[in-house]
């Protein structure tokens, strides 16, 4: 087919374009020639040497290489496994390198230490996990919860409200037009799908607007639904968080504890409720904050405070409170004081994205120190009615473990979130870099604003792309000619590392060949993400979208790799992919 020509009429003009066959780039041909020792085929011994020396996979054995050869022969030639043929040709070799399932760009196994306390991990976290669409009028359902768990999300948020009869519990976004879903339905779906893709614990954060009797009903539901899967501590509150490894296949509840009531006799005498022990935190209203936080969630009442008479005040509180493993709190006298004061028990603190930005500007190292022992959850500002998301890197740079996102939306911020949690085998827990976990001799903590020397240089050579002709109609990009593709590359990380580059535009080609290399100096590669977006150039309108992916830099495997691309919603295209070489120097 190479060299043939098609002709299309566009108005009075005749447009000519070439249809090219996908050919191995020069680097692929050269590598094959070198490692096949100039023979016509490459055997398992030679392929193993290529994998170790060129692809940077020292653990690849000759048996592994033989397995690759057999898979290639089966996929490409439909040969039965373990035939007498034990070598691959150049075209087979190219097929292997350009195969996303045989030669993907990142590590696919859990490889981080999973035995550290929970606060030492970034955790894949959802916000208002039950919403199917916008924050004001969409339906509430268990389906978004199921979808989140199926992509590895480990923190599910449920807002609990009494039903209209006030005898059962619904999940909905309160004081909006969202339609409710029964709590029990959400709990059963969580149980069924919690560990579909990851064995590590699922945390359910509850935003509680219930009376004590309904809290008791929730406790009963939770115990009956999860049984031995449910984790809760023997003592009133954890002094140290367990590890993800210790919590495998467990469900954990996190919310503010119910108010600690006085003895019934005291309640009769005083006719009210008061809480007992106080420390640098108070019980947290439903993700409300002090004056440090201002958004639509901050005007919700602290609805678990009730003026009750007599013995009725103790109903529900003890059993419900006992099931809360991670206690949530708010600053009693302002955020900064809470960040400075040490506390005996570990807690979770929630901040809006604006509050975090303010804290990061004014006392960022205090935030980092706080997250070395406690859990910090960040949630979207209330004006994100369409379920958009914020830039997550500021939160990660300051050690925030739970960066809560609207998973039902899409956009570049969500692509970054998905990219971060492709790390560590996609298990939903990513070990934080050591510099976020340690203090210096004078109590110093990591400061993202302080420039650091370059630690690594990531080189990215974008060879080519393919697959659009299979996944898109022939007129999707241009009515009268093949598309004009280009690729953009971004580094998202600490401010000093942020960068972007763009390939040239290849006109009229469904399988564009760019063969361009870019270098990215990195001062903090541990937090860097490589975002790749393919566009289709349009001279008269906005450029078309051709696919995207985001890769955690430290999980990228060196060598020539096939990169699958995803649509705007984060769904993998069946065929669209890039061929790229990665080098670290």
Rounded-to-integer distance, Cα 489 and Cα 358, Å: 30
Rounded-to-integer distance, Cα 110 and Cα 64, Å: 19
Nearest to residue 154, comparing CAs of 252, 277, 15? 252
Are 97 and 103 in contact, with CB atoms under 8 Å apart?
Answer: yes
Nearest to residue 304, comparing CAs of 211, 168, 183, 169? 211
Q: Which of 541-567 are b and which e, b meaning 16 or more Cβ less than 10 Å from the residue's Cβ? A: eeebebbbbbbbbbbbbbbbbbbbbbe
Residue 112 falls in the annotated catalytic set? no
3-state secondary structure of 139: strand
Structure letter (DSSP) for residue 432: P
Kindly name the residue from 127, 209, 327, 398 that is annotated as catalytic. Answer: 127
Rounded-to-integer distance, Cα 215 and Cα 221, Å: 10
Kindly name the residue from 112, 173, 327, 398 that is annotated as catalytic. Answer: 173
- Close Cβ partners of 65 (under 8 Å, ≥ 6 residues apart): 44, 45, 47, 48, 51
For 484-514, what is the HEC assignment?
CEEEEEEEECCHHHCEEEECCCECCCCCCEE
Rounded-to-integer distance, Cα 208 and Cα 205, Å: 9
Rounded-to-integer distance, Cα 283 and Cα 275, Å: 9
3-state secondary structure of 447: coil
Nearest to residue 35, comparing CAs of 560, 515, 464, 517? 560
3-state secondary structure of 480: coil
Rounded-to-integer distance, Cα 312 and Cα 271, Å: 11
Residue 78 falls in the annotated catalytic set? no
**Residue corresponding to tokens 């960022």:** 364
Which are the catalytic amino acids? 127, 173
């Amino acid at each position: 087919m190479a060299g043939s020509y098609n002709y299309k009429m566009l108005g009075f003009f005749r447009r000519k374009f070439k249809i090219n066959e996908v050919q191995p780039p020069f680097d692929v041909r050269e590598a094959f020639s070198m490692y096949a020792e100039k023979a016509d085929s490459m055997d398992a011994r030679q392929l193993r040497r290529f994998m170790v020396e060129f692809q940077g996979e020292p653990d690849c054995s000759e048996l592994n290489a033989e397995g690759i050869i057999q898979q290639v022969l089966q996929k490409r030639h439909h040969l039965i496994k373990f035939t007498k043929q034990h070598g691959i040709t150049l075209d087979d070799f190219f097929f292997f390198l350009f195969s996303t399932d045989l030669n993907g760009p990142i590590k696919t196994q859990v490889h981080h230490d999973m035995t550290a306390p929970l606060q030492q991990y970034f955790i894949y976290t959802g916000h208002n996990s039950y919403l199917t669409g916008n924050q004001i009028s969409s339906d509430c359902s268990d389906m978004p919860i199921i979808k989140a768990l199926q992509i590895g999300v480990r923190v599910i948020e449920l807002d609990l409200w009494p039903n209209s009869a006030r005898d059962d519990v619904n999940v909905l976004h309160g004081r909006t037009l969202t339609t409710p879903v029964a709590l029990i339905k959400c709990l059963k779906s969580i149980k069924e799908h919690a560990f579909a893709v990851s064995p590590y614990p699922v945390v359910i954060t509850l935003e509680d607007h219930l009376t004590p009797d309904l809290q008791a009903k929730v406790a009963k539901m939770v115990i009956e639904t999860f049984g031995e899967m449910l984790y809760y501590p023997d003592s009133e509150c954890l002094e140290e968080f367990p590890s993800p490894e210790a919590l495998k296949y467990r469900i954990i509840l996190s919310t503010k504890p119910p108010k600690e009531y006085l003895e019934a006799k005291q309640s009769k005498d005083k006719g009210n409720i008061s809480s007992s022990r106080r420390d640098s935190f108070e019980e947290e209203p439903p993700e409300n904050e002090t004056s440090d936080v201002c958004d639509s969630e901050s005007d919700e009442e602290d609805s678990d405070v009730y003026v009750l008479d007599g013995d009725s005040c103790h109903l529900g509180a003890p059993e419900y409170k006992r099931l809360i493993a991670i206690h949530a709190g708010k600053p009693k006298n302002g955020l900064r004081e809470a960040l400075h004061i040490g506390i005996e028990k570990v807690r979770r603190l929630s901040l809006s994205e604006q509050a975090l930005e303010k804290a990061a500007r004014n006392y960022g190292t205090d935030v980092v120190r706080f997250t070395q022992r406690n859990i910090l959850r960040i949630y979207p500002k209330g004006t994100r009615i369409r379920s958009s998301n914020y830039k997550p890197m500021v939160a990660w740079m300051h050690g925030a473990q739970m960066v809560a996102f609207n998973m039902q939306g899409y956009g570049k911020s969500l692509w970054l979130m998905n990219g971060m949690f492709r790390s560590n085998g996609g298990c939903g827990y990513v070990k934080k870099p050591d510099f976020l976990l340690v203090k210096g001799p004078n109590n110093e903590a990591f400061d993202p604003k302080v420039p650091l020397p370059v630690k690594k240089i990531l080189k990215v050579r974008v060879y080519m792309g393919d697959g659009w002709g299979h996944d898109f109609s022939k007129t999707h990009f241009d009515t009268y000619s093949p598309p004009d593709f280009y690729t953009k590359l971004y580094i998202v990380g600490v401010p000093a590392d942020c960068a972007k580059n763009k390939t040239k535009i290849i006109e009229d080609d469904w399988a564009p060949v760019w063969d361009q290399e870019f270098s990215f100096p990195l001062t903090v590669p541990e937090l860097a993400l490589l975002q790749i977006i393919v566009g289709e150039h349009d001279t008269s309108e906005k450029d078309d979208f051709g696919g995207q992916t985001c890769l955690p830099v430290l999980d990228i495997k060196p060598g020539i790799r096939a990169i699958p691309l995803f649509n705007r919603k984060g769904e993998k295209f069946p065929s669209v992919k890039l061929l790229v070489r990665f080098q670290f120097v």
